[in-house]
Structure 1
Amino acid sequence: MIEVKDISRSYGENVILDGISLRIPRGKVTSLIGSNGAGKSTLLSIISRLLKQNGGTVLLDSRDIEAYKTRILAQHLSILKQANFIDLRLTVRELVSFGRFPYSQGRLTAADEEKIDEAIGYLNLQDIAGQYMDELSGGQKQRAFLAMVVAQDTDYILLDEPLNNLDMKHAVQIMKTLRRLCDEKGKTIVMVIHDINFASQYSDFIVALKDSRVAFFDEVDKVIVPEVLQSVFDMDFRIVETDGKRICNYY
């Protein structure tokens, strides 16, 4: 379980997070929603130890995340940031192999190669595994980076807007893949997502941030309701239910 205790973060007088406390359940998909500037990406970066908080504590499996050595933490928790840039000419397979670095330290074993093959297959990248990253579309690159995270094979996966650069078809494929990782492999997935309908369709829990605080944190059906969403986003919503799933109409 990831437990966030009274986390705060500010830049000068600009408060980004103000006393955030959460207990993110293990083996579920939890989405962070809220308007731009609500602190979603900042919170994800603090949970992953990429960013230092001004106050508070993050616990990973009941242990302070600061107590983990970097290599050991990378065997438990992986993160895919919103902007990914590499200044090397790599094939898809070479990129995906970086996910095994916390284990292999660059000396890949047969077990590592098996994990790489599995990740490439999971993201349906077999046909382009030998292509160079700079030859790919934005959507293909995003899937390759996600395959690298899958190859890292951590219990906890953090994703900052994983649907960047994806068209509708590939966005759905990615969300289905994340759902499978949770349901089939028991992964705990925490992601920042702007599309409220993807959050509704594929999440187990939703954290809604507003004004630097947690406005709501509950199961999907208790957050995807008009009065909650209206208070979070300051706009009108109409909810339609289809096949047991809720769709938000806000146009």
Structure 2
Amino acid sequence: MTSTAVLPHAATSSGIAIREVTKSYDGTTVVDRVTLDLPRGGLTCLVGPNGAGKSTLLSIVARLLPADEGEVHVDDLDVTRCESSVLARRLAILRQEHHLAVRLRVRDLVGFGRFPHCGGRLRPVDVEHVDRALHYLDLEDLADRFVDELSGGQRQRVLIAMVVAQDTDYVLLDEPLNNLDMRHALGILRLLRRAVDELGKTVVVVVHDLNAAAAFADRIVAMRDGRVVAAGSPDEVMREGLLEEIFAVPITVERVQGRPVGHYLRR
């Protein structure tokens, strides 16, 4: 793959700052000296082919995985050194895998989002946050249902409600659109957009749908082979030669309702 310069980022004193982060497994480098600034505010989508290192990088930012080298700061917090309870009040993450060992009602699962604030003993203020999250995700009618009785799209909304109830400035989501049909995926993207525009959250999400990223994101970060190949606005990243380099397939780009849209060619 030819080398493509990362599009410039303005330096920021607040936001997520990733510096020279590297992660390897069994001698294979999956995140390769990544340096990246994600300013506070807005919706950022991480895109790239399978194995690009997107989910690993997100997990390192959330301290679910240790980096072999480098450092990550979230505002004034050094992710590797701050107390877990402090980080959990600043940053929330929704992972791909969700294995619930016990049967839970929707309200109880959403209430888990308040654990960093109350240690599991819900106070009136915590109940208010849970109620607000249920309302925001349009889950009030399902609050007393068991989670395993819900559809895939409904369960995904419940998990996002749990993150909303956690009430952190930063929200990271790893492939939240997986296994959702088009209608439910669109609903989740609209909810994430609302969380940015109405609640002032900083949202970083891993997605596979390039056009979904272009339609909803303020910034796109494109990765390949563990490296950031490009980062910038949808217009800056959605360029034909650059996309072909990242995804190794021919892609044309046109504009629809003012936004760039990529089309995979059949050749």
TM tier, smaller: over 0.9
1:52 is matched with 66
- In structure 2, C-alpha distance between the alignment counterparts of 1:62 and 1:208, rounded to whole Å: 26
1:212 is matched with 226
1:135 corresponds, among 141, 144, 149, to 149
Aligned length: 251
- In structure 2, C-alpha distance between the alignment counterparts of 1:121 and 1:74, rounded to whole Å: 23
2:106 is matched with 92
Q: Indicate the SS of the match to 2:177.
A: coil
| Contact 2:110–2:159 (Cα < 8 Å) also in 1 | yes
- In structure 2, C-alpha distance between the alignment counterparts of 1:7 and 1:120, rounded to whole Å: 36
Identity of aligned residues (%): 47
- Structure 2 gaps of 5+ residues are 1-14
TM-score, normalised on structure 2? 0.92
1:43 is matched with 57
Is 1:146 aligned to 2:160, yes or no? yes
- In structure 2, C-alpha distance between the alignment counterparts of 1:62 and 1:45, rounded to whole Å: 19
- In structure 1, C-alpha distance between the alignment counterparts of 2:138 and 2:180, rounded to whole Å: 15
2:18 is matched with 4
Partner AA of 1:246 in structure 2: P
Partner AA of 1:185 in structure 2: L
Moved more, 233-242 or 72-81: 233-242
Q: After superposition, give the CA deviation of every residue in 1:129-179 in whole Å (9 maximum; x if it has no partner).
A: 110011112221111111100100100000000112221111111111111
Partner AA of 2:177 in structure 1: L
TM-score, normalised on structure 1? 0.97
1:242 deviates by 1.5
Partner AA of 2:175 in structure 1: E
2:202 corresponds, among 176, 181, 188, to 188
Alignment map for 1:14-163 (pairs within 5 Å): 14-163=28-177
| Contact 1:142–1:165 (Cα < 8 Å) also in 2 | no
Q: After superposition, give the CA deviation of every residue in 1:210-251 in whole Å (9 maximum; x if it has no partner).
A: 121111011111001211111100111122212111221115
Higher helix share: 1
1:178 is matched with 192
Partner AA of 1:3 in structure 2: A
- Structure 1 gaps of 5+ residues are none
RMSD: 1.0
Moved more, 43-52 or 183-192: 183-192
